[in-house]
Amino acid sequence: MKVDERLARDAFRPDDQSHIAIDQVACARCERRPCVRVCPGQLYALVEETDEMRVEHTGCLECGTCMIVCPGGALRWRYPGGGAGIRYRFG
């Protein structure tokens, strides 16, 4: 089974508040923006007009890859609260 097919079986229960916070000042110092390239959910996007990074937290796979590759420490990440987030279905 392909990854896309497996992910389609999972359930998302979005949190009202984002569990990912971006320090826009620290993020702006980053030239490579690796979070855009490595996020398996493709949730990060740079807003060209404002040079701000945006994240769509509701589709997060909660893998933490973005936080690991962020060279400037611009991301703060926690698990979604109150039972929100992704529920993986195996099998």
Render each residue's pLDDT in the chain as its tens digit; 91 residues: 887 888 889 999 989 999 999 999 999 999 999 999 999 999 999 999 999 999 999 999 999 999 999 999 999 999 998 889 999 888 6
Fold of the CATH domain 3-81: Alpha-Beta Plaits (3.30.70)
Domain boundaries, the chain: 3-81
Q: Identify any residues that bridge with 20 across adjacent strands, giving them in sequence order.
A: 77
| Token pair belonging to 91 | 């099998």
Distance CA 72, CA 87 (A): 30
Tell the residue number behind the tokens 């690991």, with chain if given. 68
Are 43 and 57 spatial neighbours (Cβ–Cβ below 8 Å)? yes
Q: Identify any residues that bridge with 44 across adjacent strands, giving them in sequence order.
A: 55
Answer yes or no: pTM beyond 0.75: yes
Please report which helix (H) or strand (E) contains residue 40, including its range.
Answer: none
pLDDT digits (tens, 9 = 90+) for 58-75: 999 999 999 999 999 999
SS3 55: strand
